């Protein structure tokens, strides 16, 4: 499982010009799910998202998590995070989980983050979404449950 985590002052997702999710202060998390992702990957990523210390304390140091600052998380599924561009010009998505499997893992990740006591909003799975955000900092972190980076 891969994620692009952005600290935001606001973020929203629209489908067909209709806002389906929005948060203020918190994290926008774009999530890609691989074919072999399971409960271990889900738990790892949920713990990382909730515990990631990317918010500043009184000394302007990254010492606070989204839970510490009472922020929210906006999770958006994005299979293109598994786009392999090493050969040719068109990405291959062979490593991405098929939609039925990915939907279940995405739902489990959403539940796992919520179980940590963090407010979670989600995009609309398999929809063409317009994602808008105001990146705070900017702070952008890459996570991978396989620890590829």
Which residues does the annotation mark as catalytic? 78-80
3-state SS class at 43: helix
Residues 70 and 61: their CA atoms lie apart, in Å, by 17
Q: Could you tell me if 4 and 48 are in contact, meaning their C-beta atoms sit under 8 angstroms apart?
A: no
Task: Give the DSSP H/E element, type plus range, for residue 17.
Answer: none
CB-based contacts of 60, cutoff 8 Å, min separation 6: none
Residues 144 and 149: their CA atoms lie apart, in Å, by 6
Q: Is residue 90 exposed (0-12), middle (13-18) or buried (19+ Cβ within 10 Å)?
A: exposed
């Amino acid at each position: 499982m891969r994620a692009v985590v952005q600290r935001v002052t606001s973020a929203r997702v629209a489908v067909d010009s209709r806002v389906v999710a929005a948060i203020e202060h918190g994290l926008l998390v774009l999530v890609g799910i691989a074919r072999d992702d399971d409960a271990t990957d889900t738990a790892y990523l949920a713990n990382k998202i909730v515990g990631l210390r990317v918010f500043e304390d009184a000394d302007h140091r990254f010492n606070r998590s989204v839970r510490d600052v009472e922020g929210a998380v906006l999770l958006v599924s994005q299979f293109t995070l598994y786009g392999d561009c090493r050969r040719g010009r068109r990405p291959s998505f062979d490593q991405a989980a098929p939609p039925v499997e990915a939907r279940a893992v995405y739902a489990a990740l959403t539940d796992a983050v919520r179980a940590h006591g963090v407010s979670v909003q989600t995009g609309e799975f398999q929809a063409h979404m317009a994602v808008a955000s105001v990146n705070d900092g900017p702070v952008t972190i890459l996570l991978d449950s396989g620890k590829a980076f």
